[in-house]
Amino acid sequence: MIKKFFLILAVGVSGFLAVVAAMASGPNFNDTDVPAANSLNPVFSGNVGIGTTAPVGRLEVDGNIYVKNANIGIGTSAPAAALDIIGVGATSASANMLLRNAGRSVLMTVLNDGNIGIGTTAPAALLEIKGSGNNIFNATSGNVGIGTTAPAQKLDVTGTVRASTLMQTSGTSSGRVACWKANGTLGYCSGAYSSGSCTCN
């Protein structure tokens, strides 16, 4: 027989929830699912809704959830941080976390191997960004360092830099493309720069 019960929840001395069931309007449970009053180990076979009478998961909450002085674990019963997630993916390419917009399009992906993708669900590096326009943009002052934690210029690289084109964008030489002269010194292209070559002066 199916009956409706109103649930009163209280914290038991051992940390479990004690459940007192009284006949009233509320969620549906089987008679056999309802434990004895003040049971420290309540078990139900259905779904529990808070703020909803039609929960579609084991626990559905329509409203805000506030956790104070505690950690939340997903995939772990012993969370070591405010939010501790252990994925269930069997391969390094399995997604551990997806961040979606209101249209359910994936905005950010965290894979099982630690790779993070923004604009891609299959990042091939620790951080891979795909998109149109300015993918990375800093509107305020600041420097970017690669291989250094104390960059002294807008882009400061410790190591070898490889680029197909270097163009000056300010000063009297603005618009000129840098190139290497035959003697190994840095110069600028004179005339047109086309297909990766020019006359270097």
Contact call for residues 7 and 17 (beta carbons, < 8 A): no
Residues 38 and 83 both lie in one domain: no
| pLDDT per position as a tens digit, 139-194 | 777 888 899 889 898 889 999 988 777 777 777 767 778 888 888 888 888 777 77
| pLDDT per position as a tens digit, 101-127 | 999 999 999 999 999 999 999 999 999
Q: Which amino acid is present at 154?
A: K
The CA-atom distances, in angstroms, between 128 and each of 26, 107, 121, 149, 159 are: 48, 12, 10, 20, 21
Phi/psi at 134 (5° precision): -85, 105
Structure tokens at 64: 């805000």
pLDDT surpassing 80 at residue 25: no
Contact call for residues 144 and 156 (beta carbons, < 8 A): yes
pTM of the model: 0.56
Answer yes or no: is 173 within a domain: no
Domain that holds residue 53: 2-61
**Confidence (pLDDT) at 154:** 86
pLDDT band at 84 (very low <50, low <70, confident <90, very high): very high
Answer yes or no: is 27 within a domain: yes
Answer yes or no: is 194 within a domain: no
Answer yes or no: is 160 within a domain: no
Total number of domains in the chain: 2
Residues 15 and 36 both lie in one domain: yes
* Domain end marker among 38, 61, 84: 61
Contact call for residues 128 and 116 (beta carbons, < 8 A): yes
User: Longest C-alpha distance within the chain, in Å?
Assistant: 93
Residues 77 and 41 both lie in one domain: no
pLDDT surpassing 90 at residue 82: yes
Contact call for residues 116 and 109 (beta carbons, < 8 A): yes
DSSP for 71-124 reads: -EEES-SS--SSEEE----SSTTSEEEEEE-TT--EEEEEETTS-EEES-SS-S
Answer yes or no: is 24 within a domain: yes
* Domain end marker among 13, 30, 61: 61
* Domain end marker among 85, 114, 129: 129
Mean pLDDT of the chain: 77
Closest CA to 168 of 186, 184, 147, 183: 186
Answer yes or no: is 80 within a domain: yes
